[in-house]
Amino acid sequence: MTAGTEFDLIVIGGGPGGYVAAIRAAQLGMRAAVVEREHLGGICLNWGCIPTKALLRTSELYRQIQEAEAFGLRVEGLGFDIERIVARSRNVAEKLSRGVAYLMKKNKIAVLDASGRLEGPGRVALTSKDGAILPSISAQHIVIATGARSRVLPGLEPDGTRIWTYKDAMVPASVPNSLLVIGSGAIGIEFASFYRALGADVTVVEAQNRILPAEDEEISKLAHMAFAKQGIRIHTGVAIEKHLDTAHSLVMHARKTDGNSIDVSADRVILAVGITGNVEGLGLDEAGIEIDNGHIVVDEWCHTGVEGLYAIGDVVGPPWLAHKAMHEGVMCVEKIAGQDDVLPLDKTNVAACTYCSPQIASLGLTERTASEAGYDIRVGRYPYAANGKATALGETDGLVKTIFDAKTGALLGAHMIGADVTELIQGFAIGKTLETTEAELIATIFPHPTLSEMMHESVLDAFGRALHI
């Protein structure tokens, strides 16, 4: 299928939200097209979620092998090859990108290698990578799924050499002796964890008063302690004021909220200060689409308010997560198709995961936000140190925390730090989506010995029934 064809649905952007929306449309009998200017799979698959996890897997193994003596193992001559580490990460991304291309072909979805721009009702103008104007395409429904990009601090524009974006940080020619990470959200902390495990001297600075500011405060505090134990220096409540580019390093001058100033010197700097939606060059203003703080404004069904125009994923705002984008893509298309049983997205049912060491995962309300929302809450906690499987694994640092409505028993939130919590959190996500109560979770039989038993014990603890602490 080529440009100039009429479709039922056009998706601008081939990232997780976009390609999934197109697949669901094809499953529902629609003739779908995806307009993608770079890589199928988008940033997540090519330069984000997937390749970073490949890098972090390497650093995790490297850390574990360094600790092998505690397990009765002798390892000699341990080292690493950063070129091969990067090559493996890129190969993983390329393999999965080819997999998305296969899915497009399997579902008979037209993939147009071009940039797209709204050109009036139901029409999308196309421009090839070399700037050539291609025939326009049309559809009754158009979904914008153009994603987002990293924010840049004025005066600290990335140069690819000393000041890195996340893309630069994923393909280093060598591991820097020293690294400054500006921003302590998931992206910043993951890179801090990766480079520290490979021996870099890492410093993290955060403008807010704690790292991982979107997480529960108790989890954030435990993470701070764990990272400091690993040798990562952390400064919170810090604003970068200026920097000096010397012959051998960058020197960042920053001021803390208490008025004190600090200077941090590093060979490389990674900017991880948030993202902004890719809203430029799409003809959004001309189409009458509202933009707020760099993101497209939509309703609960991802409709922009302009007939036939929808937007999903990172371009519509937080949470900036691939699985949230995929869910929105399916929901949006099913609503377009007129399905009666479609439910709007409940953001408190969207789990967030940070794949640093130790891992962090969360769902729903934090202890503070639940209290501020007026709930009478019950909080349960269970430490990794009390779990048999964690002890056998040698992973005794961590905590599982659960938050319940004391009146109804409804699960309001779950927050975890420790080994494999990014896999464990889905158990709570399923429960919360099904509107589970503490009684049902307490009655659930968890297998032994497993890390998942801590989830059960945390629930029991919230109601004064913990068995092993």
Q: Domain residue spans in the chain?
A: 6-150+276-336, 163-273, 358-462
- pLDDT beyond 80 at 2: no
Taking CA atoms, 430 is separated from 239, 349, 436, in Å, by 39, 8, 9
Residues 6+ apart with CB under 8 A from 391: 385
Q: Give phi and psi for 116, each to the nearest 5.
A: -115, 150
Q: Is residue 241 helix, strand or coil?
A: strand
247 or 459, which is more confident?
Answer: 459
Give the homologous superfamily in CATH for domain 6-150+276-336: FAD/NAD(P)-binding domain (3.50.50.60)
**pLDDT above 50: residue 1:** no
Task: Name the nearest CA neighbour of 163 among 180, 177, 149, 188.
Answer: 180
354 has a pLDDT exceeding 60: yes
Tokens of 112: 């147009």
Compute CA distances 350 → 50, 212, 222, 327, 347, whole Å. Answer: 19, 17, 22, 10, 5
Residue pair 420/360 in contact (Cβ under 8 Å)? The answer is no
The region that residue 100 occupies, defined by phi over 0 for left and psi between -120 and 50 for alpha, beta otherwise, is: alpha
Place of tokens 């579902």: 107
- Tokens 């574990």 correspond to 64
CA 436, CA 430: separation in Å to the nearest integer? 9
Q: Which of 386, 398, 394 is nearest to 69 (CA)?
A: 394
Q: Among 49-53, 240-244, 273-277, 368-372, which range has the highest average pLDDT? A: 368-372
Q: Give 163-273's CATH code, choosing from 3.40.710.10, 3.90.1170.50, 3.50.50.60, 2.115.10.20.
A: 3.50.50.60
- Using only C-alpha atoms, the chain has a radius of gyration, in whole angstroms, of 24
CB 20 within 8 A of CB 154: no
In order of 38, 77, 198, 461, the CA distances from 74 in angstroms are 46, 10, 20, 40
What are the φ/ψ torsions at residue 367 (nearest 5 degrees)?
-60, -40
DSSP state of 371: H
Across the chain, mean pLDDT equals 95
Q: Do domains 6-150+276-336 and 358-462 have the same CATH topology?
A: no
> Which of 2-11, 174-183, 404-413, 427-436 has the least mean pLDDT?
2-11
- Tens digit of pLDDT for each residue in 33-63? 999 998 899 888 888 889 999 999 999 999 9
Given the structure tokens 């309703």, which residue do they identify?
A: 299
Phi-psi region of 183 (alpha: psi -120 to 50; beta: other; left: phi over 0): left
Please give the Cα distance from 301 to 335 (Å, whole number): 7
Active site residues: 448
Q: How far is CA 43 from CA 48, 319, 409, 443, in A?
A: 5, 15, 39, 41
Per-residue confidence (pLDDT) for residue 4, from 0 to 100 = 55
Burial (0-12, 13-18, 19+ Cβ within 10 Å), 164? buried
Distance of CA 461 to the CA centre of its chain: 30
Architecture of the domain spanning 358-462: 2-Layer Sandwich (3.30)
What's the CA gap between 70 and 68, in Å, rounded? 5
Percentage with pLDDT > 90 across the chain: 89
